[in-house]
Structure 1
Amino acid sequence: MITVIKNGYVYSPSYLGKKDILILGDKIEGLYDNLDLSNIPLKVKVIDAKENLVTPGLIDSHVHIIGGGGEGGFSTRTPEIQLSQIIEGGITTVVGCLGMDGICRSMEALLAKARGLEEEGITTYIYTGSYSIPVDNITGSPKSDIVLIDKVIGIGEIALSDHRSSQPNYDDFMKICAEGRSGGLISGKPGIIHVHIGNEKKGIEYIFKVFKDTNIPINQIIPTHMGRNKELFNSAIEFMKKGGIIDLTASSDPNHIEKEQVKASKALKIIIDKGLNIEQVHFSSDGQGSLPIFNDKGQYVGLGIGTVKALYGEIKDCVKSENIELEKALKVVTSNVAKHLKMKHKGSLEKNKDADILILDKNNLDILSVFSKGTQLMKDKKILRKGTFES
């Protein structure tokens, strides 16, 4: 199929001006100033962007695609995600992960769900593991999962500085980092160690120590939830100054927000104002993850749920509330993620990249249309494709 998106103002995510985008099958054939369709001998589907904004599809690098939670008992297990939720969030690529519960939820189930979502129309990857060390895996070790299973791109989300973690010692954590590093080198994948950071005072102490004690590159470990509180966010700033990459969580249930949480959009504004490199920043949604609240005694008192739609919500807040340029805001959910996670066909609107494309309303930035690998999944805010068991 040949499709042309015409009359849109294109953000690649860098702003390119008004361009026509020619799509052949699932790939972008090229971007043109004013494409002459009479030169194309085959039937062409023309999408008029009507001078709205055209951007890459979003990459969400932390989604509990088979659900998460369970901190308040079995009834607090969050549900699996549905395809329509992902599409509504403007997301065309997800990285699935387990959370605290690696007992009632398995790596095999995570892999199956990822394959199912891909069959339904988006691109998927997964991390091997859960909060715990030793790392949950499929083939016998996290390193061999990375090497042998196509969808596994790293290890995570390993939990540190959290009362729900397995309380690993430093040597245990360092060895996991080494497994991710060597598995990534063998397979040509990123081998990322995706680390959940909780509220405990030691924060990312282990991560700083790994880079001090070993030759493992500083971009091998990406800590997430780095806006959880002000003290942790300050350590994120120091980590960035040393060259580290941080992940900021978009989901924050207003009824279950953590004390001193630094909102992702506000955090990005601070990072920009400090003159730091925004290419070292990711946003992710923590979609379908639980947002539990514990009192000072560590007792469970309430639960919210993360939503993938929060990811783009924070991008809108970057622009509308924090006055961040759209092309800068987009990088943290497109090109930055694609680069660091070695998704070579993702993250930007360029020749030979996957045709993962959004059309945004130029006035309010609402998502109007979603294309995933050249197929239109949303048109004028209406979902065109739902998951197999969605009504």
Structure 2
Amino acid sequence: MFKLIKKANIYAPESLGINDILIAGDKILKIEKNIEISGLGNLDIIDLGGKTLIPGFVDGHVHLIGGGGEGGYHTRTPEVLLSHLTRAGITTVVGLLGTDCSTRHNESLYAKAKGLTKEGVSAFMFTGGYKVPSETITQSIQKDIVFIDQVIGLKTALSDHRSSQPTIDELSRMASEARVAGLIAGKCGRIVVHLGNSTQGFEPLFTVIEQSDIPISQFIPTHVNRTMHLAEQGMEWLHKGGYVDLTAGINPDKGARGSIKASDFLVQCHTKGIDTHKVCISSDGNGSIPIFNDKRELIGLKVAGFASLLYQFKEMVLTCGMTITEAITPLTQSPAECLGLAETKGQISPGKDADFLVLNEQLDITHTYARGICHLKDGVSLIKGTFES
């Protein structure tokens, strides 16, 4: 019931120094320099000896029930397993559909999100997918967001040969419907916008905000670092006050030609004086990574993993010279705020959920706690999904 974490070097994301943390159930109760407890029988004391403690990663873009399928039925990627998330430090996850809205369904995605939440992490979802009109559970974007607990917003796709090529009017109506639903339900109600390799990039989004009353904060453009052209537009979008979501696994060092690493995107923003508090980094985990030739023919397919989040965090600190606070903010606090989850997620603070990671001197994850429960201890998964061997 109660846990006392002693001598943790806390980044909340801001540096708090060495402190103790008292946890009651799944919540952080108190953070102080020295907490002494007596007369409490059911108390688990964990002495970290000065090790670094950061918030659990908030991953806002994951294909929880798999993705892909662009190369035929056999190329549908598998469902996410609980321990794959917790080993990667993900304690809050948001699922969505991708290209395939025919053999993948939002009903199944909802069931997966509920299942993962039961298994110990916090899982949410975006309704919709690439297809327009949007595939939903209740046949209404607004009703999905208002009445279904796990649904926090909408997903669509632009600037990609696989999208439904929505018009500006269609995009505006979807954004408005999701926004109103969010206001009614007290959720973020935002619309995640997959951006492909098309040269138009952000242009439809810029047009919507210029021609309507829809605020720029209504959209979460994602995969913004897949090309330099998109990255430059993304920096302009940030400058105007919008959110952007970078994909951790998109990396020119690992074969993503013409792309820019998430860490380098942030460095360029800092160099240009662009505020980065609305930059989020997600994994696109278990999504397919299709490889198309110049004729847009599929010539290869890979599956996105989750280790890219920690890789980018370490890259930012060890290679780019960022502080730990600067490096963890786009993985924790910023996505929590963007996704409307900041009341309980994204920070180490009294009243928040007890979601945190313990790091060693090499900044590798040794322990993962989700809602107060230890899922990973000394690099070993203590808790696995229901059907994991």
2:74 maps to 1:72: no
Which residue is equivalent to 2:272? 274
Contact 1:253/1:306 (<8 A) preserved: no
After superposing the two structures, state which structure 1 stretch, 253-262 or 287-296, moved more: 253-262
Amino acid at match of 1:197: L
Query: Deviation of residue 255 (structure 1)?
Result: 9.2
- Residues paired across the two proteins, number: 388
Structure 1: how far apart are the matches of 2:253 and 2:55? 32
Structure 2: how far apart are the matches of 1:213 and 1:268? 29
Which residue is equivalent to 1:30? 30
Matches within 5 A, 1:31-180: 31-38=31-38, 40-156=39-155, 158-180=156-178
Which residue is equivalent to 1:10? 10
Structure 2: how far apart are the matches of 1:21 and 1:84? 25
Partner secondary structure for residue 21 of structure 2: strand
Normalised by the length of structure 2, the TM-score is 0.98
Spell out, residue by residue over 1:86-119, the C-alpha distance to the aligned partner (whole angstroms, 9 max, x if none). 0111000000000000000000000001111111
Matches within 5 A, 1:191-230: 191-230=189-228
- Give 4+ residue runs of structure 1 displaced > 4 Å after superposition: 253-256
Partner secondary structure for residue 75 of structure 1: helix
Which residue is equivalent to 2:317? 319
Spell out, residue by residue over 1:321-362, the C-alpha distance to the aligned partner (whole angstroms, 9 max, x if none). 11111101111011111112111100101111000011111x
2:351 maps to 1:352: yes
Going from structure 1 to structure 2, the CA distance change for 1:256 and 1:70 (only over 3 Å counts) comes to farther
Spell out, residue by residue over 1:55-94, the C-alpha distance to the aligned partner (whole angstroms, 9 max, x if none). 1111000000000001111111111110010011100000
Matches within 5 A, 1:274-313: 274-313=272-311
Structure 2: how far apart are the matches of 1:348 and 1:335? 6
Spell out, residue by residue over 1:153-196, the C-alpha distance to the aligned partner (whole angstroms, 9 max, x if none). 0001x110000111111111111111111111111111010000
Query: Deviation of residue 4 (structure 1)?
Result: 0.8
Contact 1:255/1:304 (<8 A) preserved: no
Contact 2:366/2:378 (<8 A) preserved: yes
Amino acid at match of 2:24: L
Contact 1:256/1:291 (<8 A) preserved: no
Normalised by the length of structure 1, the TM-score is 0.97
Which residue is equivalent to 2:375? 377
Spell out, residue by residue over 1:271-298, the C-alpha distance to the aligned partner (whole angstroms, 9 max, x if none). 1222211111000000000111101111
Percent identity for Structure 1 against Structure 2: 44
Consecutive unaligned residues in structure 1, runs of 5 or more: none
Structure 2: how far apart are the matches of 1:25 and 1:234? 45
Contact 1:227/1:267 (<8 A) preserved: yes
Amino acid at match of 1:15: S
Structure 1: how far apart are the matches of 2:253 and 2:272? 31
Partner secondary structure for residue 250 of structure 2: coil
Amino acid at match of 2:307: K
Structure 1: how far apart are the matches of 2:109 and 2:255? 27
Structure 2: how far apart are the matches of 1:279 and 1:253? 22
Amino acid at match of 2:353: D
Going from structure 1 to structure 2, the CA distance change for 1:71 and 1:111 (only over 3 Å counts) comes to same
Contact 2:251/2:260 (<8 A) preserved: no
Query: Deviation of residue 150 (structure 1)?
Result: 0.5
Partner secondary structure for residue 279 of structure 1: coil
Query: Deviation of residue 43 (structure 1)?
Result: 3.0
Spell out, residue by residue over 1:343-383, the C-alpha distance to the aligned partner (whole angstroms, 9 max, x if none). 1100101111000011111x200001011111111111110
Which residue is equivalent to 1:188? 186
Query: Deviation of residue 254 (structure 1)?
Result: 7.2
Contact 2:252/2:259 (<8 A) preserved: no
